Structure 1
Amino acid sequence: MTPRRIAILGTASSGKTTLAEALAERYGTVWVPEYLREFVDAEGRVPVAADQIHIARTQRAREDAAAPQAGKYLFCDTTPLMTAVYSRHYFGGIDAELAVLADAHQRDYALTLVTAPDIPWVADGLQRENEEVSVIVNRLLLDELAARGIPYLLISGDPDQRISQASGYL
């Protein structure tokens, strides 16, 4: 059985990882961590424009690799669409190959959850984002979803509330 891929999108420090991990535990399945964190840790730097396609490809490849181990759901802590949003913000546009990967969002994810930036913001190591940038990126994400006609569920509140909200749509 092919798992239903659940996209979990949001800005830095908005609870994506916590939600993905908790939902995977609740539903007895696996989740795919955000590759960007690993990239920043391994490289010791923030990505540049040329890194964006590698980050998105790797994120997608890890989803594909995790799918055979998943149960009914595969929870994805970000997707290439989020990489495209960051690329637009930080580098002024989305490269053509990244745009193709981001376009797959509409056909490949059964549900898109967006984590609201309503929890205390915590710096994330070398990540360059701060609370003010998170507000901007959140707006860009919501605009991108609207422009692509991608329906989403905004998840907010404390961790238990978020799990409950998401579970109501699974």
Structure 2
Amino acid sequence: MSALRIALLGAESTGKSTLARALHQALPHLTGLRVARVDEYLREWCEREGRTPRADEQLAIIQEQERRADALAASHDVLIADTTALMPAIYSEYLFADTSLAAWAHQAHRRYHLSLLMSTDLPWAPDTMRDGPHAQAPVDRLLRRWLREAGHAFVVVQGQGPSRLEHALDALTPLLGQVSPGQATGAAKPVGGLFSRLLDRQSRLPGSTRWTCELCDDPGCEHALKAAPSPQDRHRS
């Protein structure tokens, strides 16, 4: 079976990298699964080059992002992706009015079983690689539209500090429960508690529904707009 792929998406300064690191640290301990994290290549590229990419450089960036994801997914049970090809493609539309990368990015993103969409509820954290807070809301709106129109399963994650991690774990637990730990060296012995803690909450949801309202940031009141496919279903497709 292929790895369970979880995408972390969001506008600038919405906590993607912080949550990716927290999940990467917590999940092996809680589940015994072999968990990998692929970091954002776009940011690495910008830091290395000292500038933002031109429109003609974006395709190579999204291809490298997914190449790295594939390499890690091949030897792990779970892949936490600190963005996917969708984010550079969205910035191409936002910055350059270039939609030529959309089809490629959506096709690549369909291999991810669920996207965690970062809410814009965190304080803005400036750095030299970010456009500024003025870009956050329009990128968030564009990202939600892309996810909704393409039918990608997603959950909005909110909260600060430990509550943001707990919110993400709530969303991921139903999918994580379907993953069998691999036999490769490095798989941890689970400490237990993650699945039993959320069993009652998941059992109250109808069928295999997931929290995927594109506007509501509270998973407790989100409606099932789309059922996230199981890892097995996504692998067969």
**TM-score (ref. length: structure 2):** 0.66
Runs of 5+ consecutive residues of structure 2 not aligned to the other structure: 29-34, 173-237
User: Contact 1:56–1:101 at 8 Å: present in 2 too?
Assistant: no
Q: Give the drift of 1:107.
A: 2.8
Aligned to 1:103: 106
For 2:148 and 2:97, the matched residues in 1 are separated by 19
For 1:74 and 1:21, the matched residues in 2 are separated by 12
Asked which structure has the greater CA Rg, the reply is: 2
Q: Give the drift of 1:68.
A: 3.0
Corresponding residue SS for 2:124 = coil
Aligned to 1:12: 12
For 2:93 and 2:132, the matched residues in 1 are separated by 17
Q: Give the drift of 1:143.
A: 1.1
1:83 aligns to 2:85 (yes or no): no
Aligned to 2:127: 124
User: Contact 1:13–1:122 at 8 Å: present in 2 too?
Assistant: yes
Aligned to 2:168: 166
User: Contact 1:56–1:80 at 8 Å: present in 2 too?
Assistant: yes
User: Contact 2:5–2:79 at 8 Å: present in 1 too?
Assistant: yes
Of 110-119 and 60-69, more deviation after overlay is shown by: 60-69
**Quick one: which amino acid aligns to residue 21 of structure 1?**
R
Query: More helix per residue: 1 or 2?
Result: 1
User: Contact 1:34–1:59 at 8 Å: present in 2 too?
Assistant: yes
**TM-score (ref. length: structure 1):** 0.91
**Quick one: which amino acid aligns to residue 66 of structure 2?**
R
Q: Deviations over 1:15-58 (max 9, x none)?
A: 00011111111112221110111101111111110111011011
Corresponding residue SS for 1:108 = coil
For 1:53 and 1:40, the matched residues in 2 are separated by 14
Q: Give the drift of 1:106.
A: 5.2
Aligned to 1:63: 69
Seq. identity, %: 38
Corresponding residue SS for 2:45 = helix
For 1:124 and 1:3, the matched residues in 2 are separated by 33
Corresponding residue SS for 2:171 = coil
Runs of 5+ consecutive residues of structure 1 not aligned to the other structure: none
Q: Give the drift of 1:63.
A: 0.3
User: Contact 2:86–2:109 at 8 Å: present in 1 too?
Assistant: no
Say which structure, 1 or 2, has more relative contact order (CA 8 Å, 6+ apart): 1
